[in-house]
Structure 1
Amino acid sequence: MRAFGWNMLLAMAWVILSGTYSIGNLVVGMVLSYLVLAYVLRDKPTFARYFGKLPKIIGFVLFFIWDLLKANARVAYDVMTPTHLMRPGVIAIPLDVKDEGAITIFANLITVTPGTLTLDVSSDRKVLYVHIMYLDDEARQLAELKALEARVIDLLG
């Protein structure tokens, strides 16, 4: 967390020294200070984890946006056409993630995706129950949700 603190401190210094107080300028300061710190601290193994997170975060965001677009398109198509293709169902997802915070993040990512809703977590935190509007192929849906879980584990691990 020390690298993030330095990143924020340098970004704030950038904003103050440039004299332009805006979110865009803060983002520019964050990017510039990230690059400077990545270069200056490149030989410090304690900071390697911080600098390795950015590519993972970008990859996760792009992956989730793509999933979100696909789900929105499917729901929009079903709403706008006269025939309804819904086949709702509930599936149980065996959880590989053990941390309660990670389970919460995973469950919320499922819930914000159109067509899916997290219903419950088992009391032993080993199974997550999800309602799916389009349960055509349970194995495929389970594989997609497990891929999302693997990304969450990779990002938080």
Structure 2
Amino acid sequence: MKNRFLSNILLTFIWVALTGDFTFANYLFGFVLNFLMLRMITSGSGNAKYFRILPKVIGFVFFFLVELIKANLQVAYEVMTPHYNMSPGIVKIPLDAKSNLEITLLANLISLTPGTLSLDVSDDKKVLYVHSMYINSREEFIKSIKNGFEKRILEILR
């Protein structure tokens, strides 16, 4: 996987140097073009983890940005309006994530979104405690974390 990623980066730099256009759009175009070219060249080999993970990582980045924007707008609305619409609480989220890396990424991504904060992980690493400013339904909140951040993290790391 590392070799294909490094090959993609190297080919992207070669593409940019040959075209002479050092804009972000050209870097992005070169990266996508070389990704597709490498995928076609190595389609017969069995080890294609890079080609499965990279689209998931890109999708995850966009998912996180959308969640970040939604959370910022929700908190900004709360600050600007005179009425409190908050229903804060602490939720116990059962974890499918097992490794320290998976749990740490999940906890940090939850804490990065405004209005939520990861508080603690149980000693047996099976439960994550999260404080949220907006908990209308505990079940819906748990489902949104499990089907959102946790599911995507596990798809990338496993």
Does TM-score exceed 0.5, indicating one fold?
Answer: yes
Partner of 1:35: 36
Q: How many residues align?
A: 156
* Gapped regions of structure 2 (runs ≥ 5): none
Q: CA deviation at 1:111?
A: 0.7
- Residues of 1 paired with 2:30 and 2:103: CA distance? 33
Q: Any idea what the Cα deviations from partners look like across 1:36-80, whole Å, max 9, x if unmatched?
A: 10111111111x221122332233233323322322222122111
Which amino acid is the alignment partner of residue 105 of structure 1? L
What corresponds to 1:64 in structure 2?
A: 64
Q: Does 138-147 or 10-19 show the bigger shift?
A: 10-19
**What is aligned with 2:92?**
92
Q: How much does 1:24 deviate?
A: 3.7
Alignment match, 1:124: 124
Measure the CA separation in 2 of the matches of 1:76 and 1:18.
Answer: 44
Distance 2:68 2:50 in 1: 27
Inter-partner Cα distance in structure 1 for 2:50 and 2:30: 17
Query: TM-score w.r.t. structure 1 length?
Result: 0.89
Aligned AA (2:151): A
Q: In the aligned structure 2, how far is the partner of 1:13 from the partner of 1:59? A: 26
> Could you tell me how far apart the structure 2 residues matched to 1:73 and 1:16 are?
41
Q: Which amino acid aligns with 1:94?
A: P
TM-score by length of 2: 0.88
Task: Quote the offset at 1:22 in angstroms.
Answer: 4.4
Matches of 2:100 and 2:17, distance apart in 1: 39
The CA deviation at 1:7 is 0.7
What is the root-mean-square deviation in Å for CA atoms of aligned residues?
Answer: 1.7
User: How many angstroms apart in 1 are the aligned matches of 2:13 and 2:155?
Assistant: 30
Alpha-carbon shift at residue 25 of structure 1 (Å) = 3.1
